[in-house]
Amino acid sequence: MSRRVGVLALQGDVREHVRVLSELGADAVLVRRPDELASVSGLVIPGGESSVIDKLSRAFGMREPVRSAIASGMPVYGTCAGLILLADRITDGIVGQQTFGGLDVAVRRNAFGTQVDSFETDLAVPALGEPPVHAVFIRAPLVEQVGDGVEALAALDDGRVVAVRSGALMGTSFHPEVTGEHRFHELFLEMVRAA
């Protein structure tokens, strides 16, 4: 199985994901076109602005190819805006905002307020073991409903869910790619190898 994985490179913190994946030994490539998507075994959807990535995915003819890759079981990991794009249902999207969907969750955009309400915290993530994950939340979304078959990987102290996995799809409200945290990407690469 090829270890070539893509980072959806329409908008957002693409470079940070490419760096982490490369440091883990993966062949990480930028994905902007359908033929580039067809060449990878897994996809990361970066943090950024979900409404912009949504619009650009339609303008670049990437919406349907990404949806069919998800439907066919390609492993996909989304951080922050990427999690929003994987959610079947979103609250507080802009008018007309769509998602790729696939994860049976409801996600609230900008759930913690604006840029000034960004914060960092240490999170226990049992699936990753010790030590806790140092998580950076930047205008982050919150998972408000978790469907059957969706595993909550991490929650804040008050129980609000901020990381989920279901089948080949995984999403985090926060950005491991900006803190030197490699374990989520390692888990994603394991999902790619297993697929």
Interacting residues with ligand GLN (CB under 6 A): 47-50, 80-81, 84, 109-110, 138-139
Angstrom distance (rounded) from CA 25 to CA 138: 27
- Among the listed residues 17, 177, 181, 185, the single catalytic one is 177
Q: Would you say 138 or 142 has its CB closer to ligand GLN?
A: 138
- Among the listed residues 16, 17, 175, 185, the single catalytic one is 175
Residue whose structure tokens are 């929650």 = 155
175 flagged as catalytic: yes
Smallest distance, Å, CB 13 to ligand GLN?
8
Smallest distance, Å, CB 137 to ligand GLN?
8
Q: Would you say 110 or 121 has its CB closer to ligand GLN?
A: 110
Q: Which two tokens stand for residue 173?
A: 């409200």
17 flagged as catalytic: no
- Among the listed residues 80, 134, 182, 186, the single catalytic one is 80
Q: Which two tokens stand for residue 59?
A: 């303008």
Buried b (16+ CB within 10 A) or exposed e, 97-122: bbbbbbbbbbbbbbbbeeeeeeeeee
Signed CA dihedral, 164, 77, 15, 182: sign only = positive
Smallest distance, Å, CB 18 to ligand GLN?
16
Angstrom distance (rounded) from CA 152 to CA 171: 10
Q: Would you say 41 or 170 has its CB closer to ligand GLN?
A: 170
So which residues are the catalytic ones? Answer: 80, 175, 177
